[in-house]
Amino acid sequence: MKELHELELPETLYYTKEHEWATVKDDIVLIGITDYAQDQLGDIVFVEMPEVGDTFSAGEEFGTLESVKAVSELYMPVTGEIAAVNEDLDDTPELLNQAPYANWIIKVKLENAEELEELLNRNSYLEMIEGK
């Protein structure tokens, strides 16, 4: 496992307490898992994703990750409709271990931009995982 100072945590992303990241492009939010999450899970072997067109509220479970260590739920950072799922993860879920920020899991049509203000910035997320 990585030491905290070894984790990649880009300044430009939003983070959740459940270890998802989010970034906005126009009205589409790309969502994935953080470097911390993939490091804690170990080798990811399966990703369960929702269907395009499904809608979720912020905080709702939208899928799961299965690793050699555990099964972990994925939670929506924002409310919206699923615009796309990363089908590459069906055959190569390990992409989330190799490059967690280059490989998004879902794209969501953003319904309420104000929800982004409730997410963590890099410093707040780092403090949380440090236990401060």
CATH number at residue 97: 2.40.50.100
- Please report whether residue 61 resides in a domain: yes
Q: What is the pLDDT of residue 64?
A: 98
Range of the domain at 86: 15-112
Give the chain's mean pLDDT. 97
Q: How many domains does the chain have?
A: 1
Q: What is the pTM of this model?
A: 0.96
- Please report whether residue 101 resides in a domain: yes
Has residue 80 got a pLDDT over 90? Answer: yes
Distances (CA, A) of 52 to 37, 81, 93, 105, 109: 24, 8, 19, 12, 11
Q: Which residue has the higher pLDDT, 124 or 1?
A: 124
Has residue 46 got a pLDDT over 80? Answer: yes
Q: What is the pLDDT of residue 9?
A: 96
Q: Which residue has the higher pLDDT, 59 or 2?
A: 59
- Please report whether residue 119 resides in a domain: no
Q: How many CA atoms lie within 13 A of 119 on its CB side?
A: 28
- Please report whether residue 129 resides in a domain: no
